[in-house]
A and B are shown apart, each in its own frame.
Chain A
Amino acid sequence: MQIFKITADMSDSVKQKMKQAFFKTTQVFKTVMPMLTGVLLLVSLLHQFFKNNYQHWFSGNLILDPFIGAIAGSISFGMPVTSYVVGGELLHAGVSLLAVTAFIMSWTTVGLIMIPLEASALGIRFAIIRNILNFIFALIVAISTVSTLKFLF
């Protein structure tokens, strides 16, 4: 009898925990969904402007191009693998490795379009500071990677 009572108590506490977890998760989704829908709509609209246009953004200037790469990556979006494909094509088109690396880095680490969503989940200061730091780091990582490659090989 005692065992049945303990089991019943345990199942009640699990049920309670499940109820609370379900409620909490639903609340998170209620908060996120309008922002997520808005961001995806914005992404879809901007995609119409950006697609197949990256090549024309670069000037051929060795100092200016890494900045252009980092800015282009910052306002772009998509799977990291897409940035490698676009980056590879840019490299073939004659854009410098430094600019392409800055572009790849900022593609995944900086997300200007996603800032409203990031801010709603992690805080406005977190989102802004993280994106600023990552933009600067995109350039530093690009310079470091290309310099190391030149130094070692």
Chain B
Amino acid sequence: MSKVSGRIKFLIIILLVYLIVGLIKPTLSLNALRYFVGMLPKVLPILTLVFIILFFTNMLLSPSKINKHLGKNSGVKGWLYAIAGGIFISGPPYILYPMLGELKKHGARNGLLATMLYNRNVKIYFLPAIIYYFNLRYAVILSIYIILFSILNGILLEFIVSENE
């Protein structure tokens, strides 16, 4: 009998949860499925874009290049790239994880990847929304703290999680 991977098992468990919820409260399960189907037109174009980016990353970026900019010896520049990368990359986390996973395989440091993920919160194009609901002072102070704590987050994560984990 072939061994089922953890990922497939996870999907089967979620489908079983749907089935159980569907038996107890069919409308809830149906509404959730409708919501899922409604998400697909938004997710599929992004996934296509991610496929293209990953394809070019795999084709053009060599482990030595990644190592130089985001690897062990990237130094202060590496942190700056991670902060800028986090601020400028956009997209939901489920799209970013595979891309960051590829960078890790190519030699990117754990701490820099964590810093990049933390800085997703600082978005120039979200500023009008945050200023509208809060105010400019709040937006500026929060953004400064996010950038500062993103570095601390990266350092601590690297301290706790070794590079080959």
Contact = CB atoms under 8 A, between A and B. Distances in A.
Interface residues of A, number: 62
B47 to A, nearest CB: 8
A122 B113 CA distance: 9
A41 B36 contact: yes
Interface of B: 5-8, 10-11, 13-15, 17-18, 21, 28-29, 31-33, 35-36, 39, 43, 51, 54-56, 58-59, 92-94, 97-98, 100-102, 104, 110, 113-114, 117-118, 120-121, 123, 126, 129-130, 132-134, 137-138, 141-142, 145-146, 149, 152-153, 156-157, 160-161, 165
Contacts of A108: 120-121
Contact of A34 (B10, B94, B152): B10
A40 interface: yes
Interface of B is mostly: helix
Contacts of A39: 94
Contact of B142 (A101, A116, A118, A123): A101
Contacts, number: 175
Given A17-B59, A80-B126, A145-B141, 19 more contacts: A25-B54, A34-B8, A34-B11, A35-B11, A37-B11, A40-B43, A43-B39, A45-B28, A45-B29, A79-B92, A108-B121, A117-B94, A120-B7, A121-B100, A122-B113, A125-B161, A125-B165, A129-B157, A152-B137
Interface string A55-94: 0000000000000000000000001110011011001000
Given A29-B51, A122-B113, A84 B93 contact: no
A41 B149 contact: no
Contacts of A81: 123, 126, 129
A123 B153 contact: no
A131 B145 CA distance: 18
B133 to A, nearest CB: 3
A105 B35 CA distance: 25
Given A48-B28, A48-B31, A38 B126 contact: no
Interface of A is mostly: helix
Contact of B51 (A25, A41, A43, A114): A25
